[in-house]
Structure 1
Amino acid sequence: MDISINTPALLFPAISLVMLAYTNRFLALSSRVRSLHELYIKHDNKHIIHGQIKNLRYRLKLIRNMQMLGVLAFLCSILCMYMIYAGYMLIANWIFAGGMLSFAASLCVSLMEINLSNKAIELELSDMEGLEDPSVLQYIKKKFDRE
């Protein structure tokens, strides 16, 4: 089955939006790293902040990989369009498949980073007493117990 030049072009808006989201995540993390760095320098109990810094460092690596895979998917789409234009349909199909796999891998790495983001927030909340992680059923039970 041959693809038209419009097929890889359809990925452009999707990849662009995902790359924008990745950039926003990177900017938020870099801001957090800077604030934690200042706190780390001033704080006496550095072991409290150490876990957050390790988490952020790993998440920054994941975001870098997400962005690289997204850019690779974007480049594959452009190259695929050129191969279609030049009439090399078999090569275009393989490049398009590679671009789709790269985009899918980027989204999978994004899922990993989102999971780590949730763990980082849990770490942030862990030093507050009385803020256990209740499930919806526990919340409803507590509400009925009060009444």
Structure 2
Amino acid sequence: MEELTLTTPALLFSAISLIMLAYTNRFLAYAAVIRNLHAVYQDKKDKSLIQQIKNLKQRINLTRWMQIFGISSLLLCVLTMFLIYVHQQIVAVWVFGLALILLIISLILLIKEIKISSQALMLHISNIEDTIKDA
């Protein structure tokens, strides 16, 4: 087995940081849309908005779990570096493996969230197309 060095888990720092930035941007975008929908719903009480809000709630929950798994992965990368520093190579390898698994879970959740987002957008496009056909 090849030895794990400090640079290996450190390589993931920039990747995980960029992923977390993207997740945070998604979360902030959802928050803005929800605030907007809330204001519209207060004015109209339109039932069609309820489905959009449910969809956004599901997407926010996925994003929250994506962030939790991503942050946990980063934390375990830092722990891996510490374990390498204190010469606990075998434990470091296992902790780093767990960090990779958590990052994989985070990315799988991202794929699921993108699928839900795409379906919601396709529904909006379909509604617009139906309106155009009726006109």
Scaled by the length of structure 2, the TM-score of the pair is 0.92
Q: Report the counterpart of residue 7 of structure 1 in structure 2.
A: 8
- SS at structure 1 position matched to 2:35: helix
Write the distance in 1 (CA, Å) between the matches of 2:23 and 2:58: 15
Structure 1 residue 41: Cα displacement = 1.1
2:20 matches 1:19: yes
Counterpart position of 1:87: 87
Deviation at 1:131, TM superposition (A): 6.9
Q: Which runs of 5+ in 2 are unaligned?
A: none
Q: State the shift of 1:40 in Å.
A: 0.9
Query: What is the 5 A alignment of 1:2-81?
Result: 2-44=3-45, 46-81=46-81
SS at match of 2:127: coil
CA distance in 2, matches of 1:131, 1:117: 23
Q: Match for residue 96 of structure 2?
A: 96
Runs of 4+ in 1 over 3 A off after TM superposition: none
Give the distance between the partners of 1:65 and 1:131, measured in 2 at CA: 38
Contact 1:125/1:131 (<8 A) preserved = no
CA shift, 1:43, in A, is 1.1
Number of positions where the alignment pairs a residue of Structure 1 with one of Structure 2 = 131
The equivalent of 1:139 in structure 2 is none
Distance in 1 (CA, whole Å) between partners of 2:97 and 2:12 is 12
Mark the runs of 5 or more structure 1 residues left unpaired by the alignment. Answer: 133-147
Write out per-residue CA displacement over residues 31-88 of structure 1, whole angstroms, 9 at most, x where no aligned residue: 00000111111114x2211110000000000000000000000000000000000000
Q: Which protein has the bigger helix share?
A: 2
Question: Partner letter of residue 125 of structure 1?
Answer: I
How far 1:125 moved relative to its partner? Answer: 2.6
SS in 2 for 1:126: helix
Query: What is the TM-score normalised by the length of structure 1?
Result: 0.85
- Alignment CA distance shift 1:47-1:126 (3 Å): farther
Give the equivalent residue in structure 2 for 1:136. Answer: none
**Root-mean-square deviation (Å):** 1.4
